Amino acid sequence: MATEHIVVVGAGQMGAGIAQVALQAGLRVTLADVSKEGLAKGADRIRAGLKKLVEKGKLDAAKQQAAEANLATLTNVTEAKDVDFAIEAVTENEDLKRRIFQDLDAVVRPGGILATNTSSIPITRIAASTKRPEAVIGMHFMNPVPVMQLVELIRGAATSEETYATTRALSERMGKTTVVSKDYPGFIVNRILIPMLNEACYALMEGLGTAEDIDTAMKLGTNQPMGPLQLADFIGLDTVLYIAEVLHKGLGDPKYRPCPLLRQYVDAGWFGKKSGRGFYKY
């Protein structure tokens, strides 16, 4: 059965971005969030994103109107009907995700798929909270979703071949390139990225260089578009710390120990760009 109607749970930047690319692919999308204000902001972000594409000549006005007409919103995901595919994109909190997946289990049609956008939480554990672990998969989009081309697909212990094939096809329909990761802490991208960001924090803490010099060195010396400390600010230092803790706990290797300076900044409420201060001021 083809995927035509998806539910995206979480109307933040990630959820809204996922909903936007799904709408651009011609899918019907229900965006769900418990916050009415957050839901309204998410819908506005989607409409603004579609409008920007029209202005750039990357989307025609008729497709923009069709996409907007295919968008629905809900504050209670259990009210969704005729759902083929669900993508959860809420904050990195395992208990919250497991509760949402129990709700989605009752909403998504038999034979449908439940995906999580988690960047670090084991898919196998999330799947265990449902009655259909074979239909649960990780679908990790990169931020900002409308711009970044990659989707990491993570197969849990029980994920079926059919679930993987359907999810890959949906990702490609949304214009994304996929890679497949085993269900180990951090998957592929964060397993490699977070230790680099964490090491940059150590370099700053130890006085190896200023934040500006560390970032400039990595941008010009390794041809990266953004330095590691600035990137950490954009991701959110709280998120970087959380994933570093997942790697440290899940893999048990001291090389993943979160930098004390990173932890101190998070304790101070300096989360990066979203809070106005991190390694830089915004």
> What is the DSSP annotation of the chain?
----EEEEE--SHHHHHHHHHHHHTT-EEEEE-S-HHHHHHHHHHHHHHHHHHHHTTSS-HHHHHHHHHTEEEES-GGG--SEEEEEE---S-HHHHHHHHHHHHHHEEEEEEEEE--SSS-HHHHHTTSS-GGGEEEEEE-SSTTT--EEEEEE-TT--HHHHHHHHHHHHHTT-EEEEEESSTTTTHHHHHHHHHHHHHHHHHTTSS-HHHHHHHHHHHHT-SS-HHHHHHHH-HHHHHHHHHHHHHHH--GGGPPPHHHHHHHHTT--BGGGTBSSSB-
In the annotation, is 190 catalytic?
yes
In the annotation, is 119 catalytic?
yes
In the annotation, is 152 catalytic?
yes
The active-site residue, picked from 117, 129, 181, 190, is 190
The active-site residue, picked from 5, 88, 119, 120, is 119
The active-site residue, picked from 120, 140, 171, 181, is 140
The active-site residue, picked from 88, 129, 152, 198, is 152
Residues with active-site annotation: 119, 140, 152, 190
